[in-house]
């Protein structure tokens, strides 16, 4: 055995267990951390050890790789996490636990470093077969494992004081026990500890920043960020607007000629390049329903965020017979015949407060798993899933009739136009607006196009004719903007450049209609442009679209008379102002690999939905637990049979066990024919009985026993060449024994 083993050091008692408990606490897995800590620290409570050898360490490493790979695959299939690298880092203490347990319960004080390198191991085997003496570098996995546990723990709660206190304590213990001269050099140890804390804090903050950057890059559309309360458009920004070709939603619609616009969110306040949701006050009286508007709140202490969040109201809900939850915009919808409604089936990825792509006339939604939370809608008609249990959903939508979840137009919010867009100019020193006579704004264009005094139907027809003419051009690339004019980018688009994408066309149409006295709102969602043979709409990131909701009718008074239905004043309609040629830019250009990626994405989402369906979860979890239990039972039997006793004498670790040689690998085969070896009988005398039962192996068996004696009792031991021959001889004996026993059994059966 290499003398380098004498320099191997293992962490002291309770340090590894304490680190695992710390990891479990800060990552939110205290039970897992406790179990791992008990397994690691139990080596100090038992004298059981195993003579694993090089192959066993390699198997432990392969088991760790398999655990990590399977867990990552499972996490990816169920859609947990955008960046799977961090999922792997958090669970590293569990993945690598087999390697640490093999190290802690081994009879040897160290493991070969080439355990983790396939190339290095193959080179070692080649050298040994060639007769060259090879001594792999030995090391102890304890302290490297501690470092990885700290890295895993640093991925969560890194802003809390408790985390840094625990980190300092564990780092202090590691430095004190890892260095043989730390107690003689307290100043140096203190400096090293300070550097460790600083580097740990910096590394933790760096990991958190990396996570946020990657999560933002993968979790949102390029150049655009949209949620139920804010749409950060690309209006006024230069460069190419790139959209993802991946599938965001899949919608199966029973009506082939129905609207292809599936909206996610609606906004009514525009400033700069952002559209915002502002709550619409509720109109008094009438039959507006519970979602017709938000009650006016004059509390000055409430922030805008509180007001927006307070504008969301939950839908009616009930639990179905299969355990899933159903939601409706009116309670009577639960008892209505579903055959009279337009039926859609929607599938896709979701997260907390995800806006759902729905037709404007959605009435009832069925098939959700939401333990905490549900579905709510705001006064503008945005419907969102509050807190889904899983990362993918499949639900049914029944739609038709008058929209129940859009507030009546507000004379202030739905006619609001930024002054910089209406009359381009600037503020002077007295905070007065000075118009720029050389630039034309929304007011001038509304007059030029003759929109004032027109009905909503007439005004939208004029705008469509203007936008659909050759005068305006659709483009995903904008290289003509100026940073100083971003506040009036829409008016510049209408009067000067006349080049833009759907956000320009939709925003310009809303502002023009508002200037003409017609209430309008800005919508974002998807336009169905790609349909499979099965009739399913594939909504990709490149199908993301923006359009308008226009009020056709008159603005109702603040107080609606009793008995008057709000629908008698008018209704909201979709108006898509973008020229049809936009699909040539955004909806085409799929790569050759896209069909394969689409197939894999659908398989992944469908599997997750099937797995999480009530009834299937228990079946899958039970099957997994059964397989794991069988594997653990098999592993426990193998370990129990291979156990040895590790005896402590006078505080020093010493081994009083028989040296294991390749000949011992024949023990299980011999027991099948000879039965268990009786106490007091020598191993070689017992195993020679195989030669009497199987004469064909007698010569090879005697040669193997001679190698066995030399390895155990000769002070010089076996040469590297003889060790290789010994292993090959025992491997051949195992094959011969199996073959001889099979032939012997076949002869008896005849």
d(CA 633, CA 629): 6
Arithmetic mean of pLDDT, 88-114 = 86
Query: Number of H helices and number of E strands within the chain?
Result: 24, 31
pLDDT at residue number 632:
81
Distant-in-sequence, close-in-space partners of 587: CB < 8 Å, separation ≥ 6: 529, 530, 540, 542, 543
Is the predicted pLDDT of residue 211 greater than 80, yes or no?
no
Q: Confidence band (pLDDT; 50, 70, 90) for 652?
A: very low
pLDDT digits (tens, 9 = 90+) for 230-266: 988 888 887 777 778 889 999 999 887 778 899 999 9
pTM listed for this prediction: 0.69
- pLDDT for the residue numbered 106: 85
Q: Which sign does the torsion angle of CA 268, 270, 275, 279 carry?
A: negative
Residue 15 CA to residue 30 CA, distance in Å, equals 17
Give the mean pLDDT of 505-522.
96
Pairwise pLDDT comparison (384 vs 739), residue with the higher score = 384
3-state SS assignment for residue 520? strand
Residues 6+ apart with CB under 8 A from 287: 565, 566
More confident residue, 443 or 701: 443
Q: Please give the pLDDT value at position 589.
A: 60
688 — phi, psi (to 5°)?
-65, -20
Mark out the alpha helices in 237-385 (DSSP H runs): 304-310
Which residue would you say has higher pLDDT here, 632 or 525?
525
DSSP 3-state of 445? helix
Q: Is the pLDDT of residue 220 over 50?
A: no
Distance, in Å, from the CA atom of 97 to the CA atom of 221, rounded to the nearest integer, reads: 39
Q: Looking at the DSSP assignment, which residues form a beta bridge with residue 95? A: none
**284: confidence class by pLDDT, cuts 50, 70, 90:** low
Contacts with 742 (C-beta within 8 Å, 6 or more apart), sequence order:
none
The residues, ordered by sequence, that sit 6+ positions from 178 with a Cβ below 8 Å of its Cβ are 9, 11, 143
Residue 552: per-residue pLDDT: 95
DSSP letters along 552-588, please? Answer: EE-PPPSBPPTT--GGGTEEEEEE--S-GGGHHHHS-
Query: How many of the other CB atoms lie within 10 Å of CB of 707?
Result: 20
Whether the CB-CB separation of 512 and 446 falls below 8 Å is answered with yes
C-alpha span between 341 and 344 (Å, rounded): 10
Helices (H), 430-476: 442-448, 456-467
Name the pLDDT band for 219 (thresholds 50, 70, 90).
very low
Check pLDDT > 70 for residue 322.
yes
Q: Each residue of 597-617: pLDDT tens digit?
A: 888 888 888 888 888 887 787
218 pLDDT higher than 70: no
């Amino acid at each position: 055995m290499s003398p380098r083993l004498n320099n191997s050091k293992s962490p002291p008692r309770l340090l590894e267990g304490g680190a695992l408990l710390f990891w479990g606490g800060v990552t939110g897995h205290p039970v897992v951390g406790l179990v791992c800590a008990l397994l690691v620290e139990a080596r100090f409570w038992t004298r059981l050890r195993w003579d694993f050898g090089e192959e066993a360490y390699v198997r432990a490493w392969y088991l760790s790789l398999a655990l990590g790979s399977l867990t990552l695959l499972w996490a990816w299939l169920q859609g947990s996490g955008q960046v799977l690298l961090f999922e792997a880092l958090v669970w590293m203490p569990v993945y690598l636990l087999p390697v640490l347990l093999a190290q802690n319960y081994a009879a040897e004080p160290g493991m070969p470093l080439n355990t983790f390198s396939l190339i290095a191991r193959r080179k070692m085997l080649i050298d040994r077969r060639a007769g060259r003496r090879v001594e792999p570098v030995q090391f102890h996995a304890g302290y490297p494992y501690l470092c990885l546990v700290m890295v895993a723990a640093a991925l969560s709660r890194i802003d809390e004081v408790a985390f840094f206190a625990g980190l300092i304590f564990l780092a202090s213990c590691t430095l004190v026990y890892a260095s043989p001269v730390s107690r003689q050099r307290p100043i140096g140890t203190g400096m090293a500890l300070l550097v460790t804390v600083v580097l740990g804090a910096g590394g933790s903050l760096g990991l958190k920043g990396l996570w946020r950057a990657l999560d933002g890059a993968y979790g949102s559309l390029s150049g655009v960020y949209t949620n139920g309360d804010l749409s950060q458009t690309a209006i006024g920004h230069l460069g190419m607007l790139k959209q993802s070709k991946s599938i965001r939603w899949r919608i199966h619609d029973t009506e082939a000629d129905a609207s292809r616009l599936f909206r996610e969110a609606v906004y009514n306040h525009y400033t700069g390049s952002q559209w915002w949701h502002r709550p619409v006050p509720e109109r008094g009286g009438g039959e507006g329903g519970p979602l017709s508007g938000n009650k006016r709140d004059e509390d000055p202490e409430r922030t805008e965020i509180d007001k927006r969040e307070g504008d969301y109201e939950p839908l009616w809900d009930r639990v179905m017979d299969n355990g899933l939850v159903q939601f409706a915009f009116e309670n009577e919808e639960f008892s209505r015949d579903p055959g009279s409604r337009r039926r859609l089936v929607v599938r896709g990825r979701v997260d907390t407060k995800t806006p759902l792509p729905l037709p404007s006339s959605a009435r009832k939604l069925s098939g959700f798993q939401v333990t905490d939370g549900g579905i709510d809608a705001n006064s503008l008609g945005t419907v969102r899933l509050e807190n889904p249990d899983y990362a993918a959903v499949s639900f049914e939508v029944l739609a038709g009739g008058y929209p129940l979840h859009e507030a009546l137009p507000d004379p202030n919010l739905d006619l609001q136009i930024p002054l910089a867009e209406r009359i381009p100019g600037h503020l002077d020193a007295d905070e007065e607006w000075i118009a720029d006579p050389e630039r034309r704004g929304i007011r001038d264009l509304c007059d030029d196009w003759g929109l004032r005094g027109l009905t909503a139907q007439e005004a939208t027809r004029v705008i469509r004719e203007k936008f659909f003419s050759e005068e305006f051009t659709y483009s995903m690339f904008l290289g003509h903007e100026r940073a100083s004019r971003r506040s009036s980018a829409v008016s510049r688009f209408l009067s000067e450049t006349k080049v833009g994408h759907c956000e320009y066309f939709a925003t310009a149409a809303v502002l023009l209609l508002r200037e003409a006295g017609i209430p309008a709102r800005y919508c974002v969602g998807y336009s169905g442009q790609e349909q499979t043979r099965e009739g399913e709409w594939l909504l990709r990131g490149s199908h993301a679209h923006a359009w308008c909701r226009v009020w056709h009718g008159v603005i109702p008074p603040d107080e609606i008379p009793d008995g008057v239905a709000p629908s008698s004043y008018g209704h909201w309609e979709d108006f898509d102002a973008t020229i049809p040629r936009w699909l040539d830019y955004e909806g085409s250009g799929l790569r050759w690999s896209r069909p394969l990626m689409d197939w894999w994405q659908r398989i992944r989402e469908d599997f997750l939905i099937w797995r999480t369906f009530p009834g299937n979860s228990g079946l899958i979890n039970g099957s997994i637990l059964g397989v794991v239990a069988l594997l653990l039972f098999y592993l426990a039997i193998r370990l129990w049979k291979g156990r040895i006793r590790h005896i402590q004498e006078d505080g020093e670790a010493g081994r009083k066990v028989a040296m294991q040689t390749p000949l011992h690998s024949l023990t299980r085969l011999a027991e099948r024919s000879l039965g268990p070896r009786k106490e007091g009988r020598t191993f070689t005398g017992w195993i020679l009985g195989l030669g009497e039962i199987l004469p064909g192996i007698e010569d090879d068996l005697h040669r193997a026993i001679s190698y066995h004696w030399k390895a155990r009792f000769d002070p010089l031991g076996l040469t590297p060449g003889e060790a290789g021959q010994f292993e090959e001889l025992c491997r051949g004996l195992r094959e011969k024994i199996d073959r001889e026993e099979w032939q012997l059994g076949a002869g008896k059966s005849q």
